[in-house]
């Protein structure tokens, strides 16, 4: 329970960058990850992992040689993620819009999946557009960008980048209920 209270405190201080006051539920975490083929994934990127609610589920399912790279700009959450001390986890204190350059520093040029909890609807358009374009760039062909939001207002922006290869799901058991966008890179 203390992690929920810590999340709430952090959310109240940083509502403009977090976009929510509660961490992702196990229902949302499992639904977001259910179509990931962990046995064939070498590199998974998580954007805006917060306190690691989804991160922990990813780490539980990673194959032994796979890597999870998290982009987190919040100091408190960055520290909490570092404390997970998992050899398959790399936590970067960097903005998601710098995904290409940060991955290149690690000699990573393509990723299998990007899981995003970023509150794209409240991030300035120029920054959110950059995040989507750069994410598309680093995804391998047929790689997936999986994003949740609390409304359908972001569908058009995702469609501008991922064209017709988007599916939509709804998770009513999250608080608040969330829409999950599954976007596939088709070239």
Q: What is the pLDDT of residues 37-50, one digit of tens each?
A: 999 999 999 999 99
User: How many distinct structural domains can be found in the chain?
Assistant: 1
Q: Give CA separation, 86 vs 16, 78, 91, 95, 111, in Å.
A: 29, 14, 10, 21, 19
Decide if 3 is inside a domain.
no
Supply the pLDDT for residue 130: 97
In this prediction, residues 172-177 reach a mean pLDDT of 92
β-sheet bridge partners, residue 142: none
Residue 3 has pLDDT above 90, yes or no: no
- CATH code: domain of residue 111: 3.40.50.150
In a domain? residue 101: yes
Q: Is residue 111 part of a domain?
A: yes
Tell whether 9 is covered by a domain.
no
Q: Is 10 exposed, middle or buried (0-12, 13-18, 19+ CB in 10 A)?
A: buried
Q: By the 8 A CB rule, do 57 and 84 touch?
A: no
Report the C-alpha gap between 33 and 103 in whole angstroms.
22
């Amino acid at each position: 329970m203390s992690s929920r209270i810590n999340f709430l405190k952090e959310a109240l201080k940083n509502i403009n960058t977090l976009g929510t006051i509660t961490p992702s539920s196990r229902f949302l975490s499992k639904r977001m990850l259910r179509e990931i083929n962990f046995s064939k994934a070498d590199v998974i990127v998580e954007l805006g992992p917060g306190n690691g609610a989804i991160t922990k589920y990813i780490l539980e399912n990673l194959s032994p040689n796979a890597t999870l790279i998290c982009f987190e700009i919040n100091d408190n959450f960055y520290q909490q993620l570092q404390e997970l001390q998992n050899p398959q986890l790399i936590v970067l204190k960097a903005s998601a819009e710098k995904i290409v350059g940060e991955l290149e520093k690690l000699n990573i040029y393509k990723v299998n999946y990007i899981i995003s909890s970023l509150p794209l609807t409240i991030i300035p358009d120029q920054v959110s557009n950059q995040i989507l374009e750069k994410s598309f760039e680093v995804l391998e062909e047929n790689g997936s960008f999986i994003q949740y939001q609390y409304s359908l207002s972001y569908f058009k922006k995702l469609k501008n980048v991922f064209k017709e290869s988007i599916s939509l799901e709804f998770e009513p058991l999250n608080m608040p209920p969330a829409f999950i966008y599954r976007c596939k890179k088709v070239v």
